[in-house]
Structure 1
């Protein structure tokens, strides 16, 4: 029988997260003495120093403390999952679930996920976060997100993934553009034209890599980090753009007509994936979301 308690582990984790016993006490609404005593008792039970306490300088975890921290976080997470599962008899999912989504994918990916999954699992507190791909990866590994939906571009090997669908880059042109009448356009024909670059990695990296592989250099006239601003600038005839995400309408917010044309030669499709850290065991809620997302009819038959 373990001699330590989950409460003691929770106090230790709070100190490690905040970097100070005083800050942990405020977070837990306890006295500093109670928090300090919990950590001291853990050190007595494990017969090892878990942290170095320096007055006015907070605490620093020892190697043993760092090891315990990782195990304690997993144990506390499992304990919370057990409580949630037991409350419903294992028949109904409940509890928090946070999913991130790359900002250009969010308008078409998040609505069906939030709508359908919430209807199927009403007791799950589902939250969504949009951001850049690098920002989402950082938050995923920091434990702030359970899952994220991203493109399969430059992803770390330490990720688990399920593919949702594939999509390819295309040229977005103003309706009156000289190349708009063609059924497909080449990067060499586009290169001298003014370009509106969606400068939000990995989208920008992908677009520029297409030109590099084609042996052409784009004439970048405008840069924007917003998908709809990019489309609006193209709609006003200020240039073309290379995009991957396909909205259902070929008009801008201002009502200006746009034309989407495939690239020639054909480019490698990108995979849109739902990802998670491979070292983290998915909660029942996260696993259900992965299965739900992978099972939706993405593409032509919009979910």
Structure 2
């Protein structure tokens, strides 16, 4: 007979996600003593310490706790699927899903995917997070995201991936820039021009690697972590940018005209993939998202 319960596993996962007993209790709408008691009972059932409690410093999982967490999440996913499907047909996809997306991909990819998913699977409670790639990786590892859209560059170990498409970096210029008259440009053509660098990984890493591989060093005038600020500075003629994702309209946020010119020789395409923790089996809602993404972008 099992000496632990699914509720105890749910509490343990919440403690791991939130980093403290107080925050986990708030998320579960129970008392702190109930959370502490459930965690204590789970540790007794397993005969192992799963977490280290430090006053004012929250909770840190032990090695045993880290090993239990992935398998506990899988059990909880299966349990939720079983409960939901018992009351419906096999064709229904239910449950919840939190989708992550790298911030520069979000404007051109995220809305379309969310719209189609919500229309096709209305019984799934869908939410999303868009942010830096490093934060996407952290939230996937912590279980705060179920699946994410990211550039397939410098991904950490322990992630499965499903390739979606590849995008080619291009030069973005003000329509009044002297080089805007050309139909295509090389890195050598722009290396001495002032650059507006989108200074977030992996965009920065990819851009600097491109120039390094060509034996060139760009002349960076400004650095920004915001995609639209990059395009606005370019629109005012302060420099050019190398960007991978391009909006449908060729205007800056301020309405100033921009031109996009392909690189020749063409730069290496940047792959975009759906990624999720390899240690976790995708729930039906995640599997449905993977299938839809492949349909829309594959």
TM-score using structure 1 length? 0.86
Equivalent in the alignment of 2:228: 228
**Structure 1, gaps ≥5 residues long:** 299-303
> Do the aligned residues in 1 keep the contact of 2:170 with 2:260 (CA within 8 Å)?
yes
Query: Could you say which residue in structure 2 is the equivalent of 1:210?
Result: 210
The equivalent residue for 1:109 is: 109
Deviations 1:28-59 (A, max 9, x none): 52473x5565555555555x243688796887
Instruction: Tell me the equivalent position of 1:133.
Output: 133
Give 1:138 shift: 0.8
User: Could you tell me how far apart the structure 1 residues matched to 2:188 and 2:43 are?
Assistant: 67
2:30 counterpart of 1:29: yes
CA 1:42–1:220 in 2, change beyond 3 Å: closer, same or farther? closer
Give the Cα–Cα distance (whole angstroms) in 2 for the partners of residues 297 and 21 of structure 1: 41
Equivalent-residue separation in structure 2 for 1:180 and 1:264 (angstroms): 15
Q: 1:258 aligns to what?
A: 258
Match of 2:179 in 1: 179
CA distance in 1, matches of 2:181, 2:259: 9
Using the TM superposition, give the Cα deviation of residue 71 of structure 1 relative to its aligned residue in structure 2, in angstroms: 3.3
Question: Is the Cα–Cα contact under 8 Å of residues 49 and 62 in structure 1 kept in the other structure?
Answer: no
Return the alpha-carbon distance in structure 1 between the equivalents of residues 224 and 51 of structure 2: 47
Greater CA drift, 220-229 or 10-19: 10-19
Task: List per-residue Cα deviations over 1:101-123 (Å, max 9, x = no partner).
Answer: 11111011011111111000001
Higher relative contact order (CA 8 A, sep 6+): 2
Question: Take 2:189 and 2:179, find their aligned partners in 1: how far apart are those partners?
Answer: 8
Gap change, CA 1:59 and 1:191, over 3 Å in 2: closer
Sort the Cα spacing of 1:39 and 1:85 in 2 relative to 1 into closer, same or farther, 3 A.
Answer: same
Displacement of 1:271 in angstroms is: 1.1
Aligned length: 296
* Change over 3 Å in CA distance of 1:278–1:187 after alignment to 2: same
Q: What is the alpha-carbon root mean square deviation over aligned residues?
A: 2.7
Equivalent in the alignment of 1:244? 244
Per the alignment, residue 50 of structure 1 pairs with 49
For 2:51 and 2:228, the matched residues in 1 are separated by: 51
Equivalent position SS for 1:180: helix
| Secondary structure at 2:7 match in 1 | helix
Displacement after TM superposition at 1:297 (Å): 4.9
Single out whichever of 224-233 and 10-19 deviates more from structure 2: 10-19
Check whether the contact 1:162–1:273 (CA below 8 A) recurs between aligned residues. yes
Are the equivalent residues in 2 in contact too, given 1:51–1:59 (CA < 8 A)? no
Q: Aligned partners of 1:62, 1:253: CA distance in 2, in Å?
A: 48
Q: 1:174 to 1:67 in 2, by over 3 A?
A: closer
Matches of 1:55 and 1:110 in 2, distance apart?
39
The 2-side partners of 1:276 and 1:182 are apart by 42
SS at match of 2:4: coil
The secondary structure found in structure 2 opposite 1:179 is: helix
- 1:206 Cα offset (Å): 0.9
222-231 vs 58-67, which deviates more?
Answer: 58-67
Deviations 1:178-211 (A, max 9, x none): 1111111111120111111111111111111111
Displacement of 1:100 in angstroms is 0.7
Question: Could you tell me how far 1:284 is from its partner in structure 2?
Answer: 0.5
State the SS of the aligned residue for 1:185.
Answer: coil
Is 1:85 the counterpart of 2:85? The answer is yes
Distance 2:245 2:18 in 1: 40
Q: Is the contact between residue 197 and residue 220 of structure 2 (CA under 8 Å) also seen in structure 1? A: yes
